[in-house]
Amino acid sequence: MKTIDLNCDMGEGFGVYTLGDDEAMLDIVSSANIACGFHAGDPLVMAKTLAAAAARGVGAGAHPSFFDLWGFGRRPILGERPDDVEKQLVYQIGALQALAHAGGQKLTHVKTHGSLGNLAHEDIELARAVARAVKSVDPDFILVVMPGLETERAGEEFGLRMAREIYADRAYADNGNLASRKLPGAVLHDADEAAERILRIVETGELVTVGGRRIPVRADTVCVHGDTAGAVAMARAVRTRLEAAGYRIRPMGAAS
């Protein structure tokens, strides 16, 4: 049977503030990327999200970011030295790993958040810093990468296991990276359209960019964001469409 993972960014609250319906999303997805305190999340939110994921058999991974609580990690922080970013990532991954260990859990993967991820996809030195950080904490971690971009190349250089990711609700620029959220149409909202698009990418092995370019891709995991309007309905539509086409939804750490 064909298998694929559905992942979602979670634990993106802070203190008394919440973002997204994590409880509903955890009933749909198979992997959770948990914020580690630099763009969202705090020890209590992190521990709660880990426990909720474990209760549903959902794989848990770290979702580290630039240190940008004010901007939710979506502002480009230029000029950061890759060595410094590497240490920030080790710090964040280690914090979530410690909470997981205390709860009898094991993390499976790491996926960079927001602007850090977008920049690393196009900057090989930053991508290498990400890969070094992941490998130094646990060489068995899966690094979530964008197919064909620098994070994938860095993951190959460092011999990491990788999950190549496509996005259900985002349009793609002609270089294969995500189109800027500032552009019209960069974020998709129609659940049925997104579900059909994902199945087409998975089945054909190619995606179509905003400029009409066709890019070959391998898809191991599909990201369904939890912080947009209609996120739960979109995630459910994607899962239903994939399962109807014969795909089994499994955590990326368990997928064969």
Give CA separation, 43 vs 13, 24, 27, 145, 192, in Å: 11, 21, 23, 26, 36
- State the sign of the Cα–Cα–Cα–Cα dihedral 158, 161, 164, 167: negative
| Burial class of residue 51, CB neighbours in 10 A (0-12, 13-18, 19+) | middle
Residue 185 confidence (pLDDT): 82
- Identify the structural domains of the chain with CATH numbers, from first to last: 2-249 (3.20.20.370)
Mean of per-residue pLDDT scores for the chain:
94
**How confident is the model over 3-42, as pLDDT tens digits?**
999 999 999 999 989 998 999 999 999 999 999 999 999 9
Say whether 201 sits in a helix, a strand or coil: helix
pLDDT at 256 over 90: no
pLDDT at 229 over 80: no
Q: Model's pTM, two decimal places?
A: 0.95
